[in-house]
Amino acid sequence: MPTDPRYDYSLREPRVPSLPGWSPEDGEVTMDVRLDLYRTLHELRQFEKRAYDLFMQNLVKGTSHLSLGMEAVAAGFGVAMREDDYTFATYRGHAHSLARGMELGPAMAELLGRENGILGGKGGSMHLTDAANGMMGSYAIIGAHLCIANGAAWSAKLRGTDQVAVAFFGDGTTNIGAFHEALNMAKVWELPVVFVCENNLYMEYTPIDFVTAVSNPAADRAAAYGLERIVIDGNDADVVYLTATAAIERARTGGGPSLIEAVTYRSGGHSRADPGKYRPPEEVEAWKGHDPIPIYHQRLLSLGTPEDSLSAIQREVAQAVDAATEFAKLGSPPGPESLFTEVWADGGSSWRN
């Protein structure tokens, strides 16, 4: 039995959603955007659910980190970003990849380790990348990619393209040195970069407040880098979209970096192996009542969208996910010749003559 009472989870105060959701004073969101958000939310949800089912069938090997319950952050930003903007994500990057336009089939095939995967089976779940769509990579050792996003933002500035780089990361990342190095340099160089902390309240298996000196792991650090303190409801797609639009616009027009803390919650565990038992049941229940998809469904209904239109979108997405699954299952395992390709830019791996 652990001696530290903090590890008696029955004593833990459940942390329940408390941030305000969207209201008209927050700004207008057009119906086209809203339907795009709705479709994206469903695409991410249904893809991740299917990925989970495929793990259970042992078709997905290794590990995988799902964004179930956290889709509104990826969707809100994905819809707000310009086609040529840059996304940098962590190992929990399926949602961020799809939200930038990665095709479902090649994404699913990559999880299955197939030749027709977006990375030819060489990267896997934790490294989804689609450079042609501005998805510049999923980085599995947290922190580094904030520094790399700075580089892409610096490059955009040098090339005069007014592109913006957006880096997504979890609450746990705020305690690694690269987070602090990246924020400082971004501010000193006034880079067009947006840092988005998805605070799902747990760094892997440990409550973030056990291991962090401040209660809002990202926002409470903002002042140290001359940045505004921003905490939002990360489960409200409209709130995320409007916040994203403002931060991206600011970066695009020379206003420099932003740091956004989007509070959200994983429906499941940290990774494939984790049932998430360390969370108080009341907390899990409370967040089920604050799931981004029912919130958005209700909002669209209340704004007059017919139920039929919404269910049609759901059906289309379901068909697309089925088709992606078939595409993935039909893929061959990568052939041995690909083992030695693409170490170098000449396509090969030779290190000697």
Q: Give contact residues for another protein (rule: CB under 8 A).
A: 86, 88, 119-120, 122-123, 127, 129-132, 136-137, 139, 141, 143-156, 158-159, 165, 177-178, 181-182, 184-185, 188-189, 338, 341-347, 349-353
- Looking at the Cβ atoms of 73 and 142, the one nearer to another protein is 142
> What span, in angstroms and rounded, lies between the C-alpha atoms of 85 and 194?
11
Q: Check if the beta carbon of residue 41 is closer than 8 Å to that of residue 296.
A: yes
Q: Which helix (H) or strand (E) holds 193?
A: strand 193-199
Tell me the residue type at 264: T
Q: What is the DSSP letter of 133?
A: G
Closest separation in Å from C-beta 147 to another protein: 2
Closest separation in Å from C-beta 342 to another protein: 4
Q: What is the DSSP letter of 9?
A: G
Residues 6+ apart with CB under 8 A from 3: none
Closest separation in Å from C-beta 252 to another protein: 16
- Looking at the Cβ atoms of 24 and 347, the one nearer to another protein is 347
Closest separation in Å from C-beta 263 to another protein: 26
Nearest Cα to 330, choosing from 117, 122, 119, 127? 117
Coil, helix or strand at residue 317: helix
Closest separation in Å from C-beta 91 to another protein: 12
Nearest Cα to 144, choosing from 136, 133, 155, 132? 136
